[in-house]
C-alpha cells in the first residue's frame, strides 16, 4: 500500500554496499580524485586522523585543480578544524563551514540538540554516498583511543536518478548556510542542468585516463535496483524515515533484521515490531553491547522487556562499537543511512537514509548482519533480562526518565 507521505522508489540504480571505513574511504577518495567540477560533502564528525587526512588531502587537491569543493561539518561532532588544515583548506579554495557551533552555553540550550547528523557526498552529479560512516578511522574512537576491533558500520555508493536528489539537498543546505533567506527562489533544475553541462564539457576537455578500468567517477547508471533518498529534518521531512521503517515492518511476511547503534524506538515503532513478531515474522535486532554513553546504554534496556515478551530476538554486539543504522526486511527491502532509531535521530537531527529494493543488495547486507549476530553478538535471554540486578534496573529507569525529559524540553512527544 502506497504512503502518500513517502517519495516513490525509482529504478535504474547501481548500489554498492560498503562495510567499514577502509572500503568507504577508498571509494570516496578515488571518486574525489577523479572529480572534474564539484564535490559536496556533509558529515557529523570529520576527525583529522590518518583516514580523515586522506579525505582532507583529496579535497584540497581537488580544489587546487579548480573543482568547487563544499564541506559542511557539525558543531558537536566537529567543534573545530586544526589550524594547519583550516589554513590548507582556505589556501586551496575549499569552502567549508561548521554547522551550528555550540558557543558558550553549549548543549544547555535545547535548540542546539538539532544537529547535522547525516553523512552525504555527491561528486559531479554522477555518484553519491550515503550511510553511517563518519570521517573517522574505524580503529579509534574520537578520543584517539584504539578499539579492540574496527567499528561495525555501513555506507552505500550509488549511481542513478537518486544522485540528483543528493545534489539538490546538499546544494540547498549550503545555500541556507550562506544566509540566503528565500531558498525557494533558487532554481534547482537550472542548477542541475548547469552542473551536467559543466561536467560534460570538463570530461570532453581532459585526457580521460579513468575510462580504462570502467570504475571511475562517471559510471553507467543502468543498474536494476530501485532506490530512494529519505531525509529527516525539522521542516518538510519530519517523519519520513520512521514512516518508511513502520511501513516496511508492517508489510513484512517472513523476516526483519535491524542493526542500530542508538536504539530507543517510540511507541508506534515498538508496536510495529511487536505486532510483526506476534504474527509470526522473525524479528532480530543487533544493538550496541559496549558501554559508550550513559543514556544510550541504559535507556534502551527499559524497552527490552516488551520486545522480548513479543518474541523479538535481541543480540548485543560486543567486539567493538556498533555504529550501523541499517535494516533488511524479507530479503528484498533494505535501508542504509545515518538515522538511529532513537529520539535524537527521529525527532531532532538532520538525517539521510537510502532505501533499496533489490534482492541481490538485500541478501549481501543480510549475510553480513547475520554473521555479526551469530559470531559477534550475545543473545539477550528473557530470563537473564528479567533477573538483572536492581542497581542496573535503577540506572535503566533513570536514563529512560532523563531521555523523556530531554524530549519534553524540545516540545516533542515520543
Q: Which of 74, 233, 330, 396 is catalytic?
A: 330
Nearest to 269 by CA among 306, 215, 324: 306
3-class SS of residue 309:
helix
3-class SS of residue 361:
helix
Cell output for 175:
545555500
Q: Which of 124, 138, 153, 342 is catalytic?
A: 124
Q: Which of 14, 117, 167, 237 is catalytic?
A: 117
CA–CA separation, 163 and 168 (whole Å): 9
Nearest to 77 by CA among 94, 100, 61, 59: 100
3-class SS of residue 402:
helix
CA–CA separation, 129 and 122 (whole Å): 6
Residue with cell 578544524: 81
For this structure, is 342 an active site residue? no
Q: Contacts for 91-94 with beta carbons within 8 Å, 24 or more apart?
A: 92/59, 92/60, 92/61, 92/63, 92/64, 93/63, 93/64, 93/69, 94/59, 94/60, 94/63, 94/69
Do the strands 282-288 and 255-260 form a parallel or antiparallel pair, or are they unpaired? Answer: parallel
CA–CA separation, 253 and 281 (whole Å): 6
Q: Which of 138, 233, 323, 358 is catalytic?
A: 323
3-class SS of residue 403:
helix
For this structure, is 375 an active site residue? no
Residue partners of 409: CB distance under 8 A and separation at least 6? 110
For this structure, is 213 an active site residue? no
3-class SS of residue 83:
helix
Secondary structure element (H or E) that encloses residue 259, with its range: strand 255-260
Residue with cell 532554481: 187
For this structure, is 323 an active site residue? yes
For this structure, is 83 an active site residue? no
For this structure, is 117 an active site residue? yes
Q: Which of 47, 119, 237, 298 is catalytic?
A: 119
C-beta separation of 286 from 259 below 8 A? yes
Q: Which of 31, 138, 325, 342 is catalytic?
A: 325
C-beta separation of 172 from 164 below 8 A? no
Do the strands 127-131 and 119-123 form a parallel or antiparallel pair, or are they unpaired? Answer: antiparallel
Catalytic residue set: 117, 119, 124, 323, 325, 330
Amino acid at each position: 500500500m502506497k504512503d502518500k507521505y513517502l517519495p516513490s522508489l525509482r529504478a535504474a540504480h547501481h548500489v554498492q554496499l560498503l562495510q567499514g571505513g577502509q572500503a568507504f574511504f577508498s571509494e570516496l577518495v578515488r571518486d574525489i580524485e577523479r572529480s572534474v567540477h564539484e564535490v559536496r560533502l556533509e558529515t557529523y564528525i570529520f576527525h583529522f586522523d590518518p583516514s580523515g587526512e586522506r579525505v582532507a588531502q583529496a579535497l584540497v587537491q581537488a580544489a587546487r585543480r579548480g573543482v568547487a569543493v563544499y564541506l559542511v561539518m557539525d558543531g558537536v561532532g566537529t567543534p573545530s578544524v586544526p589550524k594547519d588544515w583550516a589554513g590548507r583548506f582556505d589556501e586551496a579554495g575549499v569552502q567549508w563551514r561548521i554547522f551550528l557551533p555550540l558557543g558558550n552555553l553549549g548543549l544547555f540550550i535545547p535548540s542546539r540538540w538539532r544537529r547535522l547528523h547525516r553523512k552525504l557526498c555527491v561528486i559531479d552529479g554522477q555518484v553519491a554516498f550515503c550511510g553511517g560512516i563518519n570521517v573517522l578511522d574505524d580503529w579509534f574512537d574520537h578520543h584517539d583511543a584504539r578499539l579492540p576491533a574496527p567499528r561495525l558500520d555501513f555506507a552505500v555508493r550509488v549511481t542513478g536518478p537518486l544522485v540528483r536528489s543528493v545534489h539538490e539537498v546538499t546544494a540547498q543546505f549550503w545555500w541556507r548556510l550562506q544566509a540566503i533567506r528565500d531558498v525557494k527562489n533558487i532554481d534547482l533544475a537550472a542548477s542541475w542542468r548547469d552542473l551536467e553541462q559543466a561536467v560534460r564539457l570538463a570530461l570532453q576537455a581532459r585526457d580521460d585516463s579513468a575510462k580504462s578500468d570502467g570504475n571511475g567517477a562517471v559510471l553507467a547508471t543502468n543498474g536494476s535496483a530501485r532506490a530512494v533518498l529519505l531525509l529527516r529534518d525539522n521542516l518538510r521531512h519530519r517523519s519520513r524515515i520512521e514512516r518508511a521503517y513502520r511501513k516496511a515492518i508492517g508489510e513484512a511476511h517472513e523476516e526483519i533484521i535491524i542493526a542500530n547503534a542508538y536504539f530507543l524506538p517510540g511507541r508506534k515503532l515498538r508496536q510495529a515490531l511487536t505486532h510483526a513478531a506476534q504474527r509470526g515474522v522473525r524479528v532480530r535486532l543487533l544493538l550496541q553491547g559496549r558501554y559508550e554513553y550513559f543514556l544510550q546504554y541504559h535507556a534502551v534496556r527499559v524497552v527490552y522487556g516488551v520486545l522480548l515478551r513479543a518474541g523479538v530476538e535481541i543480540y548485543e554486539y560486543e567486539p567493538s562499537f556498533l555504529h550501523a543504522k541499517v535494516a533488511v526486511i524479507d530479503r528484498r527491502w533494505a535501508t542504509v543511512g545515518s538515522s538511529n532509531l532513537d529520539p535524537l535521530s527521529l525527532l531532532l537531527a538532520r538525517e539521510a537514509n537510502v532505501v533499496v529494493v533489490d534482492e541481490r543488495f538485500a541478501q549481501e547486507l543480510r549475510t553480513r548482519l547475520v554473521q555479526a549476530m551469530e559470531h559477534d553478538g550475545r543473545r539477550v535471554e528473557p530470563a537473564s533480562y528479567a533477573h538483572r540486578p536492581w542497581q542496573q534496573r535503577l540506572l535503566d529507569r533513570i536514563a529512560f526518565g532523563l531521555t523523556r525529559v530531554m524530549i519534553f524540553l524540545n516540545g516533542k512527544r515520543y
